[in-house]
Structure 1
């Protein structure tokens, strides 16, 4: 297929109706407008309508923002794109930048916005609580805190009923590490290579993605083990993972007997036999790896790994920071998709729809072990504001059937993206579950070598120019991470898939020149 290029003048498109975009002249600073989309220099998929009118941007000029950022904010380069986006406003699955451009958000602020940007119900609850009481600290009680604890505990199986409210995923995983060691009286904790569990000084020991590692000593008592990645790892194939889309690698596994799982379990046993003490504190696992590009494990792996860990005296911790709250569709929690019951569950991100909130949930026995060791205290964890918002998020997920939407729309999207894998040699793998989808880019399907970063960058830029925002992940930043808010619709998926397809066509044309 040949892409037809249409040379257009640089112009603005003013949406005077949510359904009928009309071209117009450039807007002056004082002009009023509803929703705008800048035309790029080629034919691109038509963006679905949006019935929201953003406010006119009247804050800092873009160059001033860049200047302040350079002078006063972290020098660590984290912003996407050659020209970082200056976002102004959000509504459900949409984001608007300072120039009035509209974007379909398929990354949710790093898998954080669960029910939609500025969801009306969540907004109303937050505003009401803001006018009543912001902060108490744990030395006082306030009903929203206890109401939330009761609602959250009802969503978890016995005996996971004791909740520690925190502020972030890193803080939650810090506490879970402490709990595991306090309860087991052991030190060693195992996590997968490719795992991301935070970048606080404590959790950096669990995180095994190269750029987060430091030359300085750290990570005492933390050991890594092979990630059972059925696409990039040494074993795995077309029957191994819990996903509507399997890897194109062939395997001889039967539906109920995964040979790759058995081989990865042998590697796990080798770690237990050589790299840790005879008795261990615990094992951390994301049900689907997040930062590593939404990597899935063979069916049955976690169940056997949990058994081995418990035989060594350790506790099993699932990190649900990205996978929880219905995002995977088939189940509310990621650990349920593996048919396991962890001893500790950590959660954050989607729990507050972007508001700083996290939690650790464990058993009464493990909670008591921690209480016997120290007075655990957090000033801001479980604030009235966070808990009121957290309750509203749970209500919206239930009232709007967002878990079901994740299942139906996510499966629809997975199957759509799988067709691109069949069409383009550089799309190596499509994987995931619900609204957590990885698109791994390769030089070719035989070698599975990562597509060079500069090429992935250009595809990423092209998607942004056409109005689609997606994330990045993988050890080599070679995987696109697709995780939209759970309110997403099938027409919006169709647009996203067409944008990605257009970006791939443009890339192949660049390669051919």
Structure 2
């Protein structure tokens, strides 16, 4: 039998016909073990997991067609790798009772070979739909370490005929495809294989050979969950495909297996490539061969599964893999081979020098390069005010306007266009322009900037030179007698008759048969720029957008910006614009903002922008001057408060508001002692920080409070010492005990401060009647009651304007900030006249910008918008809908312990155990990071940082709320 015939025969083998009962008998007879058996998946072997008192094992049953020498090679490889200190964990071979590592058996007249291996504990990576970039990188590292461990291993059984040997991918695929029924799919696979083989052929002599596992895939790698629940690869099983093959094929098999986790993005493999290269450096030829080998592996996978199901239709393992193997193929062929080579080179630091674009004549010689209006469509472009960026005809109208003014107009190459962004999308949109659009007078002539072959294809006019291809769209081709044209030949005209303006698109490409996309997703930008260089040289004017550098900007920030001023996320997007409940980064990605309670009316509100801008143009000074807006704003605030709270202080922030409230308590009571709640946060000034006890904000909070602060047990009805609505009296008793101790020590009470909904803990409502009882005890001792409404007030709760309304109480002092100015620095203290006047004996009070004309106008306009756009009502209706959907997640996912809050101040608390309430801190961080990848801004809160703090702008639409829940469900289902 020839090698080719042997290989074909191998591809047609079904699994051994050995039942679970028969497997139990074999284990007992040959290994002296008894236990439960459970079948494990395999394509052509039959594998059983065996649970015995002596441990857990795997019984592997191979057909007799597999030469004993091959099985000996697998055993030897396991022993070799197992003896390497830096190698991944692998199983070990367990000899039979007779001392044999391979036992020949016969069952019902059929000859088989069996082996027993130790069972490698862990979770196969294939069980997680999503693998984090860190996990992907470790998988690549594991493959690299295994390749290094096998470098000095050799065995005669490595020379074998195996369908997975990528050196034979071409003939194997041809054989397998011959039996495929789906003709259209068969043709696609064949075309992909031909393209991959053509790319590989000149490289094969340069590819290193050694012993390789050839199957370090998500199926054959087990991982352990880290603290966040993320799987970290660490052990490799199933050496059934070990052979002598190309080193780079080891990495190709690993990368191919990752593609069904990639959510359609082939660049997802790059962390694995980089990590493999770090431990097992690739050569230039191997870098060039890697993606064609991945395509080849994908083609063999789908063809092999199709054939195997024809032979063994009941093979659940193959059935289960078929769908994701097809996904692997689709992702592998979704991009040009050349693109992935550039991406891989960039990942491993082996980039080729960029070739300069050389032209001999300008493409449009009749236009003056110094008089072209270049239109800026980027995030900060001056032509895109308010929401103009998402109108369908914006780009065309702006080009026409610029062309009328300058005679000609152009867009910019390499620009991340805001006009291409899309809201509420889990994937980043294609925003990087790989072309230039021109607006010129009709009938403007277009000439060949270099000589070449001229063809028309799918609405494009393409001029192909030696290494460069010019694509023109929207033009009227000139009549030519020959496909070959020389430099300067007229090849087209701009459509339309003067003075009508016409449009055309100009794009360059370095790949001959590729019709390149107009736009690329940002993280693929570097590779696509290599394939589609700038046309600036042939246009004759600078049409290149300046590069963005979010990482460099972050480095500058960290260099000069004080370290305690933290930023969200380890690798944060550079956010430079917002609209309603959306934020935009400089690459045109839109994020749903679910955490920014400062912008209560939404980002970029044109009405607020106009009002503040007008006031800045008129006057801005301090409140010691006499002007109308400070009186109007003070009146409006007092009218929002309960009767009797008629006096207003205007300040710059919530911290200042709480600091001033404490000073007012001191001044009006003549005492100093303050009672506050544990787990609370009130600000960063000396006094507001003193009454803040959140260890999430300050790990030293509980040991560094001054002696005038007396924290009491947090009335957290979910995870506190007393739980449920009936816990009011217990929590009140803890306050009573503290007050009694102050009485015993003859220490007078100045007041009590608390949020009216437990905001920092995730929006947990206080137990019914709690504030009524506590306020009464405080007032009986001459203290004042401060309601911190900085986070929860101003309509955010939907059902109430102020949080204290839910408790049915009236405080002595209300503090408010955050949304008052929609991001403008503005806060307020609202109190009774006699409390305010008590401060005057200590001198007058002044805040530089708290009551300035601009601040007051900002505050007045926000109140008008809250009323006119019915944002409190929106907070109620959308918030109620959002809470119901979040609560439904709790019925599906055990990690969701509770959903707190109301309106648009909600908290989802994650726990590892619903009985012990062990906080899922690391999981919450991982969830927030994955949500960012899916286009949602979210952050954790609470002392254990295990609660999602959900406090979006009050203009949040129902559609946006649903997108948030859908993305959260996706993360909980797929992993992080």
Separation in 2, partners of 1:347, 1:491: 29
Deviations 1:349-394 (A, max 9, x none): 0111111000011101101111123222222221111100100000
Number of corresponding residues: 465
- Alignment map for 1:29-108 (pairs within 5 Å): 29-30=414-415, 32-36=417-421, 44=426, 61-76=549-564, 78-108=566-596
- Alignment map for 1:298-309 (pairs within 5 Å): 298-309=767-778
1:461 corresponds to which residue?
929
1:249 corresponds to which residue?
none
1:274 corresponds to which residue?
741
Separation in 2, partners of 1:337, 1:411: 16
1:160 corresponds to which residue?
645
Separation in 2, partners of 1:497, 1:489: 13
Q: 1:46 to 1:19 in 2, by over 3 A?
A: farther
1:221 corresponds to which residue?
708
Q: CA deviation at 1:218?
A: 5.2
Selected match of 1:417 from 886, 896, 902: 886
Q: Which has the higher contact order (CA 8 A, sep 6+)?
A: 1
Q: Please state whether the residue corresponding to 1:34 is helix, strand or coil.
A: helix
Q: CA deviation at 1:139?
A: 2.4
Separation in 1, partners of 2:651, 2:390: 43
Selected match of 2:602 from 95, 116, 121: 116
1:497 corresponds to which residue?
965
1:253 corresponds to which residue?
none
Selected match of 2:718 from 231, 236, 239: 231
Q: Does the aligned pair in 2 maintain the 1:236–1:298 contact within 8 Å?
A: no
Separation in 2, partners of 1:331, 1:39: 29
2:305 corresponds to which residue?
none
Q: CA deviation at 1:289?
A: 2.3
Q: Please state whether the residue corresponding to 1:281 is helix, strand or coil.
A: strand
Separation in 1, partners of 2:545, 2:820: 29
Separation in 1, partners of 2:885, 2:937: 18
Q: Does the aligned pair in 2 maintain the 1:328–1:433 contact within 8 Å?
A: yes
Q: Please state whether the residue corresponding to 1:376 is helix, strand or coil.
A: coil
Q: 1:16 to 1:282 in 2, by over 3 A?
A: closer
1:50 corresponds to which residue?
none
Q: TM-score, normalised by structure 2?
A: 0.46
Q: Does 1:350 align with 2:819?
A: yes
Q: Does the aligned pair in 1 maintain the 2:645–2:831 contact within 8 Å?
A: yes
Separation in 2, partners of 1:160, 1:175: 16
Q: CA deviation at 1:99?
A: 1.4
Q: CA deviation at 1:157?
A: 1.5
Q: CA deviation at 1:37?
A: 5.7
2:914 corresponds to which residue?
445
Separation in 1, partners of 2:545, 2:793: 34
2:944 corresponds to which residue?
476
Separation in 2, partners of 1:427, 1:187: 42
Separation in 2, partners of 1:235, 1:218: 25
Q: Please state whether the residue corresponding to 1:372 is helix, strand or coil.
A: helix
Deviations 1:87-145 (A, max 9, x none): 0100111100111110011111xx2110111211111101111111122x232111111
Q: CA deviation at 1:314?
A: 0.5
1:243 corresponds to which residue?
none
Q: Does the aligned pair in 1 maintain the 2:128–2:974 contact within 8 Å?
A: no
1:182 corresponds to which residue?
667
Q: CA deviation at 1:405?
A: 0.7
Q: 1:466 to 1:269 in 2, by over 3 A?
A: same
After alignment, is 346-355 or 269-278 more displaced?
269-278
Separation in 2, partners of 1:348, 1:355: 10
Separation in 2, partners of 1:476, 1:499: 23
Separation in 1, partners of 2:420, 2:786: 45
Q: CA deviation at 1:35?
A: 3.8
Q: Please state whether the residue corresponding to 2:765 is helix, strand or coil.
A: coil
Q: Please state whether the residue corresponding to 1:236 is helix, strand or coil.
A: coil
Q: CA deviation at 1:184?
A: 0.5
Separation in 2, partners of 1:301, 1:218: 24
2:38 corresponds to which residue?
none
Separation in 1, partners of 2:782, 2:754: 17
Separation in 1, partners of 2:416, 2:688: 49
Selected match of 2:678 from 190, 193, 199: 193
Which ranges in structure 1 are unaligned for 5 or more consecutive residues?
21-26, 48-55, 241-258
Q: 1:430 to 1:46 in 2, by over 3 A?
A: farther
Deviations 1:286-340 (A, max 9, x none): 0112222222211111111111111111100000101111111111111111110
Q: CA deviation at 1:235?
A: 1.7
Q: CA deviation at 1:220?
A: 4.3
Q: Does 1:130 align with 2:616?
A: yes
Q: CA deviation at 1:156?
A: 1.1
Q: Which has the higher helix share?
A: 2
Q: 1:465 to 1:39 in 2, by over 3 A?
A: farther
Deviations 1:162-189 (A, max 9, x none): 0000001111111100100110111100
Calculate the aligned-residue CA RMSD, in Å: 2.7
Q: Does the aligned pair in 1 maintain the 2:415–2:545 contact within 8 Å?
A: no
Q: 1:343 to 1:422 in 2, by over 3 A?
A: same
Separation in 2, partners of 1:504, 1:19: 35
Q: 1:465 to 1:373 in 2, by over 3 A?
A: same
Q: CA deviation at 1:489?
A: 1.2
Q: 1:61 to 1:410 in 2, by over 3 A?
A: same
Q: 1:425 to 1:32 in 2, by over 3 A?
A: closer
Q: CA deviation at 1:18?
A: 6.6
Q: Please state whether the residue corresponding to 2:888 is helix, strand or coil.
A: helix
Q: TM-score, normalised by structure 1?
A: 0.85
1:252 corresponds to which residue?
none
Separation in 1, partners of 2:595, 2:830: 26
Separation in 2, partners of 1:7, 1:158: 60
2:873 corresponds to which residue?
404
- Alignment map for 1:361-372 (pairs within 5 Å): 361-372=830-841
Q: Does the aligned pair in 2 maintain the 1:223–1:275 contact within 8 Å?
A: no
